[in-house]
Amino acid sequence: MMTATLDWAAAMAAFAGMSGLCLAMDKHGEKALPRAPSLPWQRGLYWGGWAMLLLSLAMGVVQWGAVFGPVIWTGMLSLVVGCLALVLTYRVRWAPGLGIASLVLTLILAVSAWCVQA
């Protein structure tokens, strides 16, 4: 059980992280959010995004090991970014919501993975 949940947690964290990074950009943030985010918000999204990406990588390493973790994570990242690009192209207004949803899901999945393991 634990295996499947942490997989998904890593993917969700990567999605949340990438959402943060793209919403922090003027180009995408303006379109996706109701109002263009202020500078502090942009900074927060940017660094939060990076933190989530790091967290995702860490979960990948825990899940798949130090050897295969980064490899799988890199592959997963292109899938995640591809999905996000499609969202931004065709459903740009969904981006913030999906970002938050993935953030919440990351937490739930990570906690449940933790509980199952413990």
Partner 1 sequence: MNVSLPYRWNIFFRILIAAGGGMFVASFCVAVIATLFPAHKALATYSGMLLSFVIWLLMALFAFTKLPKKNGFRQSMSWLHTWTGLVVGWILFFIFVTGTASYANREITRWMQPERPMESTTARSAATQFGHAIEALRAHPDAARATNWTVDLVSNARTSSQLTARWSNGNAEQRGGNSPSIVLDVEDFSQAAPSEAARQTAGGRALLRMHYALHYMPYGWAVRIVGICTMLMFIAIITGVITHKKIFSDFFTFRPGKGQRSWLDAHNLISVISLPFYLMITYSGLLFFLYAYLPLGVPFAYGFEQEKQQAYYAELAQETASQRLIGRMAERTGGGGGGGQQGANAQRQVPQGMGNARPGGGAATPESTGPGPQEMRAPSRVGGARPEQNGNSDRSGGNSRGEVRPTGDEDPMTRRGLGAQSARYTDIVAIVERTERQWGHGEIRSVVLTTGRGPDAPPVLQLAPAWGDSLRRGGNSPNLQFNAYTGEEIVSPQRATPPLNERIAAAMIGLHEGLFARPLLRWLYLLAGLLGCAMIASGLVLWTVKRRPTRESGGFHLGHSLVEKLNIATVAGLPLGLAVYFWANRLLPVDLADRAQWEIHALFIAWLLSLAYALARPLMHAWREMLILTSASWFLLPVLNAITTNKHLLAALTAGDWVLVSVETVFIGVGLVFAWAAWKVHTKMQAPARRPRRKARGSAPETQTSKESIADDEVNT
Query: Applying CB under 8 A, which residues contact partner 1?
Result: 7, 18, 21-22, 25, 27-28, 67-68, 71-72, 74-79, 81-82, 84-86, 88-89
CA dist., res. 98 & res. 104, Å (int): 10
In angstroms, what is the minimal distance from the CB of 50 to partner 1?
A: 12
- Cβ 68 to partner 1 shortest distance, Å: 7
Considering beta carbons, is residue 23 or 103 the nearer one to partner 1? 23
Find the shortest distance in angstroms from Cβ 87 to partner 1.
9
Report whether 15 contacts 105 (CB < 8 A). no
Query: According to the 3-state scheme, what is the secondary structure of 80-109?
Result: HHHHHHHHHHHCCCHHHHHHHHHHHHHHHH
Is residue 12 within 8 A of residue 55, CB to CB? The reply is no
Number of Cα atoms under 13 Å in the Cβ half of residue 106? 24
Cβ proximity to partner 1, 41 vs 46, nearer residue: 46
Nearer to partner 1, 27 or 35 (CB): 27
How many residues are there in the chain?
118
CB of 106 to partner 1, least distance (A): 18
Cβ distance to partner 1 smaller for residue 84 or 103: 84
